Amino acid sequence: MPHVPTAQHMEIDGAGLSPRSVAAAARHSGGGTRVTLSASAAERMRASVGLKESLLAQEVPMYAVTTGFGDSCVRQISPDKAHELQRNLVLYHLNGVGPAAVPEVARAAMLIRANALAKGVSAIRPQAVSTLLECLGRDILPLIPERGSVGASGDLVPLCYLAAALIGEGQALHRGTVRPALDALRDEGIEPLSLAPKEGIALINGTSFAAAYAVLAASDARELACVAEIATAMTLEALHGNASALHPFVHANKPHQGQVKSADAIRTLLAGSRLATSFDDILVRREKLAGRSFLQLNERIQDKYSVRCAPQIIGIVRDTLDWTESWLTTEINSATDNPLFDVDESGLHLGGNFYAGHVGQSMDSLKTAVAGLANLLDRQLALVVDEKFNEGLPPNLVVARDPDDPEAGLHHGFKGMQIAASAVTAEALKHTGPASVFSRSTEAHNQDIVSMGTISARDARTVNGLVREVAAIHLLALAQALDLRGVEKASPAVRAVHALIREHSAFVTHDRRLDQDIEAVIGLIETGSLRRAAGIGDDEFAVD
């Protein structure tokens, strides 16, 4: 996970939450991020509860309050059973499967759910949301199985584990230790929640689990775009590449903002380089050699697409992130349960805001764009290790031996690393299949079309992890190539990245295991250390 500046105190009102602030709170481990309800949010929530109680007193039928759920909405529930109905709703959905979501996902889901309820249209008491926020602040995290949601009616199964922890059911991760949720609540002095009518469905009927994965995936993808730009700059230096393709004139004539920004970033990273070349450099060399033709010089005047088109490829990620984060901002500041209560008009509205279609569509697009980074970096790596394309570097980046030496073929350097990167790239590309098209009819055909948004968002997280692995392998190869090329001639930014990598991985002089080196560089990417070494600050990740 990348480094994200952390807010120590947040106030939520159902409208002002940003994806970056969610990532900041979610990635602040061990508690310590205090989140409170604004006074205006609490007032709106109390008003919606008052409307609900008034409608109950009038015996107005209310879905999920005085009726069953889904296709059972035709079955009436007596008011004296309304509390039991909410508890049963939570219990019968505790059927998730797969590994538990990592703590940062649980934290993000808790914060997003609280903010959705803070809009004040869900008829849930302020103290119920305050209990949720108290658990977040004291690091009592629900153990939520990753699988079981189809993205409508929202994330029923995952969010039931969130609700279960609040009522003291099941297990929770408390300050890093798995224990009974009830024990964790008692140790922190938190009273287990007793669900009032509508509060069970208010807690579980929404897109908050999908959105949690999505906002974190978007943050990770932004980090990976920076890393891909760093790797591209290093590739240009390792291959004596032609930096003319980065010229502002080129990108001003196809001004997609992400592409323009990426070209500018790579150009900045190369400032001061004595390894990367340009078209002007080629003309100067030609002039010095008495006007001999390019063919006579055997001069390569432009690079292969994986180098020349890097800004166009990385730019797609950047532009996808811009609209994705806009959609996610709307999603995490929306009321996503059902029914909703209109206090101003004393009305009750049945709808479908729990449908996570925007999350699914955005994550299907983002994971495809990010997987393209794996393809880009894998192709760059293939050029760097191949003596046919690497401008005089030794094959597989191992110092060449005399062909007559009986041990000339003893060491193979980065040959295996390129194979591994190619395998991981293929796996990343495989995960780009759109999950949002795989709607299933569920719950006796009440949920007859669903978003699969949670699966899309989980896929995006998976793709990010695979791309990090490819990037780490490539960066290790690039550090090796620059040592062979003469890293002292690299740009200051690239030299700083090289020095950081060398703190964790020594120059490869002979065949040795490199899996631990890969893990070390993955860690540098996750924490943002590699990006910061290149002089790229945290501005893109700053809390709004």
- Catalytic residue set: 63
How far is the C-alpha of 364 from the C-alpha of 457, rounded, in Å? 8
Q: How many Å apart are CA 131 and CA 127, to the nearest integer? A: 6
Using CA atoms, how far apart are residues 393 and 371, in angstroms rounded to an integer? 28
Question: Which H or E run includes 425?
Answer: helix 415-430
Longest dimension (CA), the chain: 98
DSSP state of 275: S
**CA distance from start to end of the chain:** 19
d(CA 245, CA 161): 52
By the 10 Å C-beta count (0-12 exposed, 13-18 middle, 19+ buried), 299 is classed as middle
φ and ψ at residue 12, rounded to 5 degrees: -110, 145
Tokens 């008052």 correspond to what residue? 50
Q: Give Cβ neighbours of residue 321 (< 8 Å, ≥ 6 apart).
A: 218, 221, 222, 225, 258, 366
* ω into 153 cis (within 30 of 0): yes
What is the SS3 string spanning 206-271?
A: CCHHHHHHHHHHHHHHHHHHHHHHHHHHHHHHHCCCEHHHHCHHHHHCCCCHHHHHHHHHHHHHCC
- Phi, psi (5° rounding) for residue 120? 85, 25
Check the CA dihedral 479-483-487-488 and report its sign.
positive
